[in-house]
Chains A and B, each alone.
Chain A
């Protein structure tokens, strides 16, 4: 007989309470919801004895009591103006984000049949369809924004969501099919405050030669939590460029997972996360090359201050078929307080013999010589430290699409107090 531990009992109670409050399954995602709920009922919450969750303290998540209620009653009025030429869509997890919207040429919604055929494909390709946060999203998401991107003209799309209501739940489900040579700039802005939980699952398939420039700007205020899976399939000659930046969540866990289906594609991943106070910021990335001549350029940066905890796990899989893969991964971390903690772990699995895979990780404090240099020019120590932090962060935000840059993420990451506060 196996006795359930008190922790798993607590976790089961958390999931059951949530499941009991969900509305009946309905709509295009009914089947997915049914499967997700069954899986959630049968699977305990991840626990720290599981390798992938070893460093992720889930207590900020289990401290929430998300219920099926609208996460943000209406569109906040203080959003920055959308960038010219960018289509902004508001995602509230309930209403149709495309209602009343005229889509630009090259952007078309998927039909229910197409959606049915495509849903879950990328998740399976990157091996995360059974991950708990994905099942959680399946159980709760009632709608999927599914778009096909085609044609020679680059398209700029901005997706904004805000979870602010107490005990609310914001499930976001997205599916993007980029046809051959299609080009998309996707700026996702996720805002979260109060005791809300945002759950994001995005699937994207990049056809041959397609380009996706993707930014995820995740700005929160504890106790709000964020769980996000980004599952991307790349055909050959495609380019996927992802920049993520997060700050302020009690728990933010982002999992970009990319499969180069036949190699010969380019993937660039740039991440920046801040963990302050008692926040937990986690990135687990996973990239697999299924064919030769693929490349990966990855930079992950983190700052941990206060009692914050930052976790980075960067998995790179280079099987025998992936000859001549060229991959580099660098994790750079600033540890600013004696109580803060940083865990960083490259996880390279290389079977092919003719490859270049470089990786490195650094954890340091602010450099004394740099601080003194600035001080010796009349800059006080606090401002000097801020300039150094700014310099550290700026590198990771250089390649944002305009729409994402319009949110002034660098200022929001560095401003005193909440990243959601007003900027000068």
Chain B
């Protein structure tokens, strides 16, 4: 939902980042207010996933320019764990398996880290079990997955449900969901999307990163951004996603080429 007076949660200005000395983000600008659902679409290699990892603080990515403010605070100055504690959540495209670490214990430690930051009391094992069983329903997940090691041997769909379960427990202000739809069959997609919709409120915001329109059939975005060559090339409403679906990404390449041509010998254009 678009609320003009809503709090500005995330403000990205001219963000540049590299991985292995390869520039990936080349001037990203984006603002997200509370209540909004944004979708970033684009081809493989356009920089969408890099944007999500940079926001979460992955150590392999190096920010070389620009700024990111989260509720006015310099997000880039914080270690990854602190970003999570103040309410930034990254749903992984490939959730990591951690053998030997109980999913339940992991969820409890993570939930308590966030609760402490919000000035709430830590939950003991018993209170946490009550909470987690309630939240399991958001993603219709089998409680048996709590007793297993984190993501170990989970199917693709189960891993994504586990991500949304973490989101349900951590109650982030900004949830960045990186290709949450990848590897999901249509039923799993509906369940995961249902969870995301259920958790979206006027106080939080969601940034969906996806290739395909099909996720946006079940989660309606307020804004759609098309990313190419490390920048946001165009921003529109949900109809932009439909246009991408119909016309493919070739016009994006054309637009990018036109822009580069126009930029030659001329000062760089800010594209929003």
Which chain B residues border A388 with CB–CB below 8 Å?
98, 101
Which chain B residues border A377 with CB–CB below 8 Å?
81, 84, 106, 110, 113, 166, 170
Shortest Cβ distance from residue A396 to the other chain B in the assembled complex, whole angstroms: 9
Interface of A is mostly: helix
Q: Contact flags (1/0) for A369-413 with B, using CB distance below 8 Å? A: 110111111111101100110111111000000000000000000
Whether B106 lies near A381 (C-beta < 8 A) is: no
Q: B92: nearest residue on chain A (CB-CB)?
A: A373
The stretch among B53-61, B203-211, B262-270 that forms the contact with chain A is B53-61
Shortest Cβ distance from residue B128 to the other chain A in the assembled complex, whole angstroms: 14
Q: Contact flags (1/0) for B43-59 with A, using CB distance below 8 Å? A: 00000000000001111
User: Is B191 positioned at the interface, with any CB of A under 8 Å from its CB?
Assistant: no
Whether A373 lies near B96 (C-beta < 8 A) is: yes
A interface residues, how many (CB within 8 angstroms) = 24
Provide the bound-state CA to CA distance between A378 and B109, in Å.
8
Which chain A residues border B96 with CB–CB below 8 Å?
367, 369-370, 372-373
B interface residues, how many (CB within 8 angstroms) = 30
Picked from B81, B101, B114, B166, the residue with its CB within 8 Å of the CB of A387 is: B101
User: Is B194 positioned at the interface, with any CB of A under 8 Å from its CB?
Assistant: no
Whether B81 lies near A378 (C-beta < 8 A) is: yes
Shortest Cβ distance from residue A330 to the other chain B in the assembled complex, whole angstroms: 13
Picked from B56, B60, B109, the residue with its CB within 8 Å of the CB of A376 is: B56
Which chain A residues border B84 with CB–CB below 8 Å?
375-378
User: Is B100 positioned at the interface, with any CB of A under 8 Å from its CB?
Assistant: yes
A residues 353-370 near B (Cβ < 8 Å) are 367-370
Whether B106 lies near A374 (C-beta < 8 A) is: yes
Whether B170 lies near A378 (C-beta < 8 A) is: yes
User: Is B117 positioned at the interface, with any CB of A under 8 Å from its CB?
Assistant: yes
Shortest Cβ distance from residue A381 to the other chain B in the assembled complex, whole angstroms: 7
Shortest Cβ distance from residue A339 to the other chain B in the assembled complex, whole angstroms: 23
Q: Contact flags (1/0) for A218-236 with B, using CB distance below 8 Å? A: 0000000000000000000
User: Is B66 positioned at the interface, with any CB of A under 8 Å from its CB?
Assistant: no
Q: Contact flags (1/0) for B69-106 with A, using CB distance below 8 Å? A: 00000000001110111000110100110111100011
Which chain A residues border B170 with CB–CB below 8 Å?
377-378
Shortest Cβ distance from residue A279 to the other chain B in the assembled complex, whole angstroms: 23
Q: A410: nearest residue on chain B (CB-CB)?
A: B100
> Could you say which of A367, A370, A378 has the most chain B C-beta atoms within 10 Å of its C-beta?
A378
Whether B113 lies near A378 (C-beta < 8 A) is: yes
User: Is B149 positioned at the interface, with any CB of A under 8 Å from its CB?
Assistant: yes
Which chain B residues border A369 with CB–CB below 8 Å?
96
What are 21 A-B contacts defined by CB distance under 8 Å? Answer: A368-B59, A368-B60, A372-B59, A376-B84, A376-B89, A376-B92, A377-B81, A377-B113, A377-B166, A378-B84, A379-B113, A380-B81, A380-B113, A381-B81, A387-B98, A387-B101, A387-B106, A388-B101, A391-B98, A394-B101, A395-B99
Known: A373-B92, A376-B90, A392-B100. 5 other contacts (CB 8 A): A372-B96, A378-B114, A384-B81, A387-B105, A390-B101
